[in-house]
């Protein structure tokens, strides 16, 4: 203020001193982000893709760490629990060893409340159900009997169920697939022509599941000390049930996942890599080389996959009963590369014409620099997305090949071969098909959703939008 009042301005030395250097303008920037950071940020915002990613990590952990946590042998057969649904009753009573039975003793007493005096001898156990009967009316000659069994209550006039035996004896022992449930046994007297008469008796029984001490030891159920007859113990736990040979479904799913995910992840990695190399060479070289290489790719597309799979099995000397996983991998690699190769070639052709590539060339960039600095980073998104979309298709291919018996050899499971086994008993024991099918579906869905998310996240044109 005081200076203004002065009439004249006197320059001083301080006016000629340089301005301090540190003064900066307010910069309007945001933290610098690399391509990958940005992609990751956008992937994280896509809840669906993120969830799929966690799901995939979970599945991989399940199959890799599973064998250490769930140590049951996937090919061990628990014949006491064949085709058990998850959560089925596991109680079992220890019983004496099975002894052959040659009919009732002479002092057997027979029930009087049915036409034939049909009586249960001993206990009805899963070892055997023993029936004896007095026979039909004494004035009639004895021409034999037919024994039936069913699981459903009988009303008058109903068919008696499953015929088990036709016999001239007055006793019968049933050992066929006895489950701990209610059974209705019917014995019908026959006439001289072997035709059923109206003389019959029905008996309702509840079968109790038993095993012998020896069996309990063999099945490893005696860990909590020795067991005695009459004692009740629990059979081995199978959280996901068992299959048609009593094998643990959970263990089979874990081991089956190893095969399925191995093929599902490695095969696409390998053939997409091959495709990328091939496609980028073709695209970069262009001209006649490109023409020639792409016509060869067209030729490879036309080769039938299944035929090659069989040929490779022969070439590899893989005999019957040996695993066909390796030829499957090789067949996939040598036949499925053209699709990613075409994709990458298209991208490269496009990028080659971009202005920044020309500029780079003008500034004297070498081929190597062009490829590694410009071409590959710009096609990376396409490549990654291709891989994630190829994974489900590879898993399906493995499932299909194992389904038709070209894949894994028994007893090695894979999800596909488990489906193949399970489909036969789809109506009676749905869990045998349901679980492997569920795992295939979840894996395929997860990879598809992840691929979807990656496609959005890696799209360079979407970068920095929002």
Partner 1 sequence: MRSKSTSNSNTHSNSLSRQLGLYFVLAIVFVAGLLLALNQLAGLMGTATQEAQAVDFANNSISAVLREEPPQLDSSKATDSTSGLVLGHIMEGLLRMDLQDRLSPAIAERWEVTPTHATFWLRKDAKWSDGKPISAADFIFAWQLALKPETGSEYASLLYPIENAEAINTGKLPASALGVSAPDPHTLVVKLTRPIAFFDKLVVFPTFLPIREDFYNATQGRFGSDAKDLLYSGPYTIKSWVHGASMLLERNPHYWDSNRGKLAQINFAYITSDATATLNFFKDERIALARLQAENLTEALRLKWPIRRFADGTVFYLEFNHREDHLSRNLNFRKAIQHALDMEELVYKVTKLPGYLPGKSLFPEWLIGVEKTLREEYPASTVTVDSAKARAYLALAKEELGLAEFPEITLLTSDNPVSNIQSEWLQEVLKQTLGLTIKIDKQIFKQRLAKMSSGEFGLLLGGWGPDYNDPLTFGDLFASWNLNNRGRYKSEQMDALVATAQNATATPDRMKAFGAIQQQLFDDVVILPMYERGVTYVVHPQLKGVKRRVIGAETDYTYAYIDPDA
- The residue among 345, 342, 331 whose CA lies nearest residue 298 is 342
DSSP conformation class of 113: S
Under the criterion CB under 8 A, does residue 82 sit at the interface with partner 1? yes
Regarding 71 and contact with partner 1 (CB under 8 A), the answer is no
Residue 161 interacts with partner 1 (CB under 8 A): yes or no: yes
58 binds partner 1 (CB under 8 A): no
Sorted by sequence, the CB contacts under 8 Å of residue 146 that are 6+ apart come out as 163, 165, 166, 167, 187, 188, 190, 196
Exactly one of 26, 139, 177, 198 binds partner 1 (CB under 8 A); that residue is: 177
Instruction: Supply the minimum distance, in Å, between the C-beta of residue 271 and partner 1.
Output: 29
Q: Of 366, 369, 424, 445, which one interacts with partner 1 (CB under 8 A)?
A: 424
> H or E stretch including 239?
none
Number of residues that bind partner 1 (CB under 8 A): 33
**Using omega within 30 degrees of 0 as the cis cutoff, is the peptide bond preceding 411 cis?**
yes
Q: Which two tokens stand for residue 260?
A: 């399925």
Contact residues for 395 (Cβ-Cβ < 8 A; gap 6+) = 260, 261, 263, 264, 415, 440, 443, 444, 447
Distance in Å, CB of 417 to partner 1, minimum: 11
- CB of 166 vs partner 1, minimal distance in Å: 8
Residue 323 CB neighbours (<10 A):
15
State yes or no: residue 311 binds partner 1 (CB under 8 A): no
Tally of CB atoms within 10 A around 257:
24
Q: Please report which residue ranges of 25-136 form alpha helices under DSSP H.
A: 35-45, 47-69
Is residue 47 a contact residue for partner 1 (CB under 8 A)? yes
Minimum distance between the CB of residue 63 and partner 1, rounded to whole angstroms? 22
326 binds partner 1 (CB under 8 A): no
User: Applying CB under 8 A, does 48 fall inside the site for partner 1?
Assistant: yes
Task: Please tell me whether residue 301 adopts helix, strand or coil conformation.
Answer: helix
Instruction: Establish if 77 lies at the interface with partner 1 (CB under 8 A).
Output: yes
Among the listed residues 36, 96, 405, 441, the single contact to partner 1 using CB under 8 A: 405
Residues 131-160 that bind partner 1 (CB under 8 A): 150-152, 158-159
Q: List interacting residues with partner 1 (CB under 8 A).
A: 47-48, 75-77, 79, 82, 150-152, 158-159, 161-164, 175-177, 244-245, 319-322, 405, 409-411, 424-425, 427-428
């Amino acid at each position: 203020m005081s200076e203004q009042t002065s009439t004249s301005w006197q320059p001083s030395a301080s006016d000629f001193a340089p301005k301090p250097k540190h003064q900066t303008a307010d910069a309007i920037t945001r933290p610098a982000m690399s391509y990958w950071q940005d992609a990751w940020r956008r992937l994280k915002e896509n809840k669906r893709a993120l969830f799929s990613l966690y799901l995939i990590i979970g599945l991989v952990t399940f199959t890799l760490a599973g064998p250490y946590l769930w140590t049951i042998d996937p090919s061990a057969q628990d014949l006491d629990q064949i085709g058990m649904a998850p959560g089925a009753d596991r109680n079992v009573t220890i019983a004496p060893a099975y002894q052959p039975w040659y009919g009732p003793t002479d002092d057997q007493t027979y029930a009087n409340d049915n036409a034939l005096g049909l009586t249960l001898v001993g206990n009805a156990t899963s070892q055997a159900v023993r029936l004896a009967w007095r026979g039909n009316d004494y004035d009639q000659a004895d021409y034999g009997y037919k024994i039936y069994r069913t699981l459903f209550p009988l009303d008058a006039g109903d068919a008696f169920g499953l015929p088990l035996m036709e016999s001239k004896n007055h006793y019968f022992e049933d050992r066929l697939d006895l489950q701990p449930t209610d059974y209705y046994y019917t014995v019908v007297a026959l006439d001289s022509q072997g035709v059923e008469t109206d003389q019959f008796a029905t008996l309702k029984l509840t079968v109790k599941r038993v095993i012998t001490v020896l069996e309990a030891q063999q099945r490893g159920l005696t860990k909590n000390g020795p067991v005695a007859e009459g004692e009740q113990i629990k059979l081995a736990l199978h959280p996901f049930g068992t299959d048609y040979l009593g094998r643990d479904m959970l263990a089979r799913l874990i081991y089956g996942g190893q095969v399925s995910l191995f093929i599902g992840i490695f095969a696409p990695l390998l053939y997409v890599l091959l495709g990328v190399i091939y496609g980028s060479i073709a695209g970069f070289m262009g001209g006649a080389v490109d023409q020639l290489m792409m016509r060869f790719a067209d030729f490879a597309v036309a080769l039938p996959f299944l035929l090659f799979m069989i040929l490779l099995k022969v070439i590899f000397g893989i005999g019957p009963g040996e695993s066909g996983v390796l030829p499957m991998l090789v067949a996939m690699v040598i036949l499925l590369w053209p699709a990613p190769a075409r994709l990458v070639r298209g991208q490269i052709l496009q990028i080659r014409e971009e202005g920044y590539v020309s500029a780079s060339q003008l500034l004297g960039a070498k081929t190597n620099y062009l490829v590694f600095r410009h071409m590959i980073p710009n096609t990376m998104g396409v490549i990654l997305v291709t891989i994630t979309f190829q994974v489900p298709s590879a898993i399906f291919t493995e499932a299909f090949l194992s389904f038709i018996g070209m894949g894994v050899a028994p007893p090695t499971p894979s999800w596909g071969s488990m489906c193949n086994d399970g489909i036969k008993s789809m109506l009676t024991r749905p869990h045998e098909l349901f679980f492997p099918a569920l795992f295939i579906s979840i894996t395929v869905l997860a990879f598809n959703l992840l691929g979807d998310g990656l496609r959005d996240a890696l799209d360079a044109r979407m970068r920095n939008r929002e």
